[in-house]
A and B are shown apart, each in its own frame.
Chain A
Amino acid sequence: MSRPDIAEVVADVYREAGSRLAAYGYVLTGSHHGAEELVQAALVKTLVKRRRLDDHRAIEGYVRATMRTIHIDGIRRDATWRRLVPKVAAQPSPEPSADVDEHDEITRVLAALPPRVRTAVALRFYDDLTVADIAVAMHLSDGTVKKYLADGRQRLAPVLGVSDEDPERLPVVERRGP
């Protein structure tokens, strides 16, 4: 059996899983542009490392996990980058949210959320991670994650047309000690 062509695999993944991956990227980044960039970066990174290309479902899972890693690392780096930008380039680029071209209500509110709040919401309500798992992934305390989730929910619930007082779907799981 011949090996699948990279271009064919890329096109297939975008066609078959593009909307699911982009939806996840949209919640993480709060913009269409950010979602598109994040999906592309994650797919490239995934396929650079992984050469088994026959299971598209598995590739989607890897890409999704890589999106989360890239995004969280990016948030952690943002403050540092802003400080270092003068050392490596003269002209900073505009904030990604300025490029959003779909200004419906949910996009406006999502894009306006602080990145850490938006990310915590994505990990909780899109990835179904527990508070403890989110805390580990984002290098935050459980209490900070809970606060971010409450803030995000309070801001998003009105534009989603739902109550912001629904109980959490998943229990908080105690983290193992060192």
Chain B
Amino acid sequence: MNDFHDALRHEAHKHGEAVAAALAADAVVASSVRGIVRGRRRRATAQAGAGVLGATAIGLAAWLAVPFLGAGETEPASAGDPSSGPAPSGDHTYRAFVVPPPEPGCSPLADQLAAGLPSTQSVEFPVEVPGVTQPLTGELWGAEPVLVLPPGEEPWYLGLDAWVVAADVSDGIPDPHLTWTSLSVGGWALSPGGDDSLRDPECAYNQPIPDLEGAVYLVIEGVDPDALEQAAPGIEWAYEAAELHTWVYLGEAN
């Protein structure tokens, strides 16, 4: 056994004991419970909409063949590639599309994009993205946050799993996972990192700063059921609403 290793653990244990007393305080427990309840409520937002939307589970192939019932009533306003529509309006309202969950793999979301999703049949609804969105360059694959939410802003997707994907990524992972981190001054940053439940653990991990071209999407695991019901009332979805993904069109890479 290594002296350095043992000595470090011994010292850390003493300090851990001191901190543990503070953790066991009623106020800390109560604060943690409030955080858990709030977080679960956010995650449950999409699930709560499942009943309203009347979800029916079918496979991915079936989704692609029959995206949803009533598609003709809810086709996005612009024809052709959804990303060919208007750019983000500048007032924090972005176009977003509902896309089925992908199969796990090494580039699950990029594969969907390459397969033509979101398509002209995808249901579209507006998503508010307050705060600062960064220029759409390969720097987003490195240290740049995709977006920064100011203090007090808590949109429905705060805390949900998210990814960024671009139509053409020159190297490395084309669709990195993003993680929410609270800023010490208040507000939240959404940046590459965190546990990626969609990526097969056997995949090679390689995330250089790439060159980007084409449409860039922020992908959120979940949907806003109220906005979706308003945009596409009465649709019978092929998946649980919590499983659906929201693809927010951020614009074209520059």
User: Which residues of A line the B interface, CB within 8 A?
Assistant: 6-7, 10-11, 14-15, 18-27, 32, 35-36, 39-41, 43-45, 47-49, 69-70, 72-74, 76-77, 79-81, 84-85, 87-89, 91-93, 96, 102, 106-107, 121, 125-126, 136, 139, 153, 156-157, 160-164, 166-169, 176-178
Report the separation of the CA atoms of residues A96 and B15 in the bound assembly, to the nearest whole angstrom: 17
Report the separation of the CA atoms of residues A157 and B7 in the bound assembly, to the nearest whole angstrom: 9
**What 0/1 pattern do residues 4 to 25 of B give for CB contact below 8 A with A?**
1101110111011111101110
Please indicate which of the listed interface residues B13, B16, B150 has the most CB atoms of chain A within 10 Å of its own CB. B16
A156 touches B16 (CB 8 A): no
User: Which residues of B line the A interface, CB within 8 A?
Assistant: 1-5, 7-9, 11-13, 15-20, 22-24, 28-33, 35-37, 39-40, 43, 131-132, 143-145, 148-151, 159, 179, 181-187, 189, 191, 193-195, 204-207
Note all chain B residues with C-beta closer than 8 A to A79.
Answer: 143
A48 to chain B, nearest CB (A): 3
B23 touches A89 (CB 8 A): no
Report the separation of the CA atoms of residues A92 and B186 in the bound assembly, to the nearest whole angstrom: 9
Given A125-B5, A164-B4, residue A80 in contact with residue B187 (CB < 8 A): no
A55 to chain B, nearest CB (A): 17
Having A6-B37, A14-B32, A85-B185, one finds 5 other A-B pairs with CB under 8 Å, namely A35-B19, A88-B185, A126-B8, A161-B7, A169-B1
Note all chain B residues with C-beta closer than 8 A to A178.
Answer: 204, 206
Given A84-B132, A161-B7, residue A176 in contact with residue B22 (CB < 8 A): no
Note all chain A residues with C-beta closer than 8 A to B151.
Answer: 88-89
B185 touches A73 (CB 8 A): no
B103 to chain A, nearest CB (A): 21
